[in-house]
Amino acid sequence: MRILCWCMALMLTLGGSHAWADGQTFRIPTRPGVEASVYWEAQEGAKATVFLFTGGNGGYGKVVDGKPTSHNFLARSVALFLADGYNVAIFGLPSDTPALDYSDRVNPKHLADVRAALDFVRTQSPAPIWLVGTSRGTVSATYVAIGSVDDPGIAGLVLTSSVTAFKKEGAVPTQNLAALKLPVLVLHHANDACAICRPYEVDWIMKGLKNTPVKKLVMVSGGANPIGDPCESYHHHGFIGQEKEVVDLMSSWMHNPAN
């Protein structure tokens, strides 16, 4: 079945994709009658691929001139990851839902969709893959990492602005973190004012990571001119004004994970 999906994905690459100046979008068959969208941009000689899960309802917005238009922290940082030597893949949305709510992100259907997307990415590059999530995307990234513990192609997990509120389905501390046996970086803003991503609750994630070979918590401060909803992209929750600093921190750690 995976070989069939890979072949279909290659056919999409050649004839069914939307080509842009830089990045490309693809529709990947995942489940019977369902496709998922993936944004892909390669970097020559990439040391690894970052597979990004955005927050909110998911997706990466429209793609204009080869770049996603989403304001999400990860989506607007594509060029920064490329500059640091990484391929970039962004998981979009499955065709059977207009948005990824919390419950959708901890559902076996989601895992099936993402696995098919990961298989497609491997047809584009043999580089190891880092799962990276931000905000509600950390629910997805954690769930997929736990569901892929036997996948040797996944190098590690990076969580930024994690959902920590236990009342939210799939909140990172409520998942089976002890199952993770790969490097994990948890990065949060000390002034994150989002009610479901409180900095003082991040320690629950670190306590749950009992079997990771390497784990590190980084609390950043600074940034500039936060505006709008504290749970949205242009506040400290979205690392406004310090995107390069944060991406460089992630990139450096992924290149050489250490406690």
| Domain ranges (residues) in the chain | 2-255
Residue 56 Rama label (left phi>0; alpha psi -120 to 50; beta): left
pLDDT at 3: 37
Exposed, middle or buried: residue 227 (CB in 10 Å: 0-12, 13-18, 19+)? exposed
Superfamily of domain 2-255: Alpha/Beta hydrolase fold, catalytic domain (3.40.50.1820)
Single out the residue of 242, 238, 237 nearest to residue 222, CA to CA: 242
**pTM, whole model, 2 decimals?**
0.92
pLDDT value, residue 8: 43
**Residue 112: how many other CB atoms lie within 10 Å:** 16
What is the block-wise mean pLDDT of the chain (259 residues), using blocks of 10 residues? 42 36 89 98 94 97 92 96 97 97 98 98 97 98 96 97 98 98 98 98 98 98 95 97 97 96
CA 199 vs CA 186, 187, 217: distances in Å: 11, 10, 11
* pLDDT for the residue numbered 259: 87
What tokens appear for 97 in the block?
């839902």
Rg of the chain over all Cα atoms, to the nearest angstrom: 17
Contact 211, 253 (CB under 8 A): no
Q: Which helix (H) or strand (E) holds 132?
A: strand 129-134
